[in-house]
Amino acid sequence: METEAEVVVAAERAGIPQLDFATFPHQIFWLAIFLIAIFIVVRRIALPRIGEIHSQRERRIRTDLDEAHRVNEQSKEIEDQIEASLAEAKRYSETKAAESRVEIQKIKARASEEADKIIQSESQVAAERIEALKSQSLDAIKTIAVATASEIVSAIIPNRGNTDQINQVVNDQLKGESSE
């Protein structure tokens, strides 16, 4: 048997066992078996799982995209409905505003007509009062003028004052006619 020193010397001469040409056929055999085993494991176990995960993710992405498109369409429909509602509300408010303006114009016209009628009737009443006061004033002036003229004529020429003549002269003077 070899001694321990001989084994160490033989190991030092051979180098690393993987580089020993004598073990190459065994190493290639086991490498091939290992690669075939890994290939079978990867092909039968890992790849189907990876493929399933990939297809699940793809389905989920597709579902999420479909859902996003559906929600987007719904939001567009809702936006269109809101815009239509706003347009309808605007038309309604404009119609109501126009109706209100027309109603205000009618009320204003009625109030103006009523005010015109009141002003006209009060003006007529005032004109009648002025005419009555004017007539009363003229009668009072006439009475005072006749009385004054009678007094003056009586003072200048005693017993000569004919009231009918004096009335005639005062009336002519008030009317703007001159007496002779």
User: Could you give the CA distance from residue 178 to residue 171 in angstroms, rounded to a whole number?
Assistant: 10
DSSP count for the chain of H helices, then E strands? 4, 0
The pair of structure tokens assigned to 72 is 């987007």
pLDDT digits (tens, 9 = 90+) for 86-116: 999 999 999 999 999 999 999 999 999 999 9
Predicted confidence at residue 79, as pLDDT, reads 95
Looking only at Cα atoms, what is the longest distance across the chain? 204
Predicted confidence at residue 172, as pLDDT, reads 80
The pair of structure tokens assigned to 77 is 């429909």
pLDDT surpassing 90 at residue 5: no
User: Could you give the CA distance from residue 20 to residue 11 in angstroms, rounded to a whole number?
Assistant: 11
Q: Which residue has the tokens 């009475």?
A: 143
Q: Identify the band that residue 179 occupies on the pLDDT scale cut at 50, 70 and 90.
A: very low
pLDDT digits (tens, 9 = 90+) for 138-166: 888 878 877 787 777 777 777 665 777 77
> DSSP for 123-170?
HHHHHHHHHHHHHHHHHHHHHHHHHHHHHHHHHHSTT---HHHHHHHH
Domain boundaries, the chain: 14-131
What phi, psi does 161 have (nearest 5°)? -85, 100
User: Could you give the CA distance from residue 29 to residue 93 in angstroms, rounded to a whole number?
Assistant: 92
